[in-house]
Structure 1
Amino acid sequence: MTMTLDELAPLFGRETLERAIARGHIEADGDRVTHWSRRQLDATLTLVRAGVPLEDVLSAGRELQRSMDDLAAMFVRMIAAHAAPGNDGDDGRGVGELAETIARLRPGAQITVEAGFARAMDRQVRAAIDQAIGRLAG
């Protein structure tokens, strides 16, 4: 989605946006900003409105993207090595079938990552609550 800086500024604050652009967190072309996902923008806005600095959200997003790139590469390597055509010695089936196999198995990989992240969030939330209870009881 594309919007102007004037449309985005009320959501995050002009000063915060200008700092984010100056640090390279957000790319602007003139007065236009392009964001890859409305859902992601809404999630960012929710965090910022809850008091999380935009710079922290953007930093976490970059770190998350690096991790996601690593996970995606792992799944593609695994599928290509074990489930893709050509692994039975018949290399004549081609790249098209490899792409189809990866596309067919992609939703399962995505569900696996989503479920793993949900489990990890549950563990981290429980740990944070236990830590807060410990401080209160302490």
Structure 2
Amino acid sequence: MADLAAAAGITVRTLRFYRERGLIPPPRREGRIAWYDEHHLARLRTIAALLDRGHTLNGIADLTAAFESGRNVGEVLELGPPTEEEPVRLTPQELADHFAGEATPENLVAALDLGYLATDGEDIVHISRRLLDVSAALVREGVPLAAVLKAGGRVREHADALAELFTDLLGAEEARRLRPLAKSVVEAELSLALDRRLRP
């Protein structure tokens, strides 16, 4: 416990408090020895980053309890039943492999705030395989993950506005039925907008 606390830059007393609150999972035990690993350290760094961004311990505890209760990511994030997007379950190492060393605690917190990621026990769940693949491809092309996530936040705002436009225009039931048409309009308009921006 002392080694883990030192690695995380906190006191043993704080670590015990986090354990009591259920913010980190219990250690693996061998007799009287308690073993902590990189998953515990990653969780502590995530807690520190969340606290730095203004989240409260109560809020972090509620989020952790929800993630570990067995509910799926859509339920935790109140996204309703899944539609076309397929969630992806990853180990922390698999997530790190996708992003070539940019899966930092700060980027993890930003992705949690966006709703891209949730934790489920020792696994991480990404809300959309398509978004995961595109984000990883952009990072491989040299775009910093922090910039990808910041852009994702802006895209989310515009996407929400477009969804509101179509549901207001068509009503919820018709928007559900005509969803492919709405997506085609947005895709065509984005293509034309890129043409205008990239025109020599």
- Using the size of structure 2 for normalisation, the TM-score is 0.49
- Aligned-residue RMSD, C-alpha: 1.9
Cα distance in 2, alignment partners of residues 36 and 15 from structure 1: 19
Partner of 1:53: 144
Aligned to 1:117: 190
Partner of 2:133: 42
How many residues are treated as equivalent by the alignment? 108
Task: From 76, 84, 92, give the equivalent of 2:167.
Answer: 76
- Check if 1:9 corresponds to 2:96: yes
Q: What is the CA-CA distance between 1:17 and the residue it aligns to? A: 3.1
* Aligned-residue offset at 1:123: 1.8
Structure 2: gaps spanning 5 or more residues = 1-87
2:110 aligned residue = 24
Post-superposition CA distance 1:84-105 (Å, at most 9, x none): xxxxxxxxxxxxxx62x22222
Greater displacement, 116-125 / 45-54 = 116-125
> Could you tell me how far 1:70 is from its partner in structure 2?
0.6
Report the Cα offset of residue 37 of structure 1. Answer: 1.7
CA distance, structure 2, for counterparts of residue 2 and residue 58 of structure 1: 19
For structure 1, which segment, 69-78 or 23-32, has the greater mean C-alpha deviation from structure 2 after superposition? 23-32
Matched residues in 2 for 1:76 and 1:116: separation?
18
Mark the CA change 1:13 to 1:109 in structure 2 (over 3 Å): closer, same or farther: same
**Shift of the alpha carbon at 1:116?**
0.6
Structure with the higher fraction of residues in helix conformation: 1
Distance 2:155 2:177 in 1: 24
Unaligned runs of 5+ in 1: 81-97, 131-138
Q: Report the TM-score when normalising by structure 1.
A: 0.69
Secondary structure class of the residue paired with 2:111: coil
* Segments ≥4 residues shifted beyond 4 Å: none
User: 1:47-79: per-residue Cα shift (whole Å, max 9, x none)?
Assistant: 101110000001111110110001000110011
| Deviation larger for 9-18 or 112-121 | 9-18
Deviation at 1:38, TM superposition (A): 1.4
Q: Percent same amino acid at aligned positions? A: 38
Asked if the contact 2:110/2:149 (under 8 Å) is kept, the reply is no
Displacement of 1:15 in angstroms is 5.0
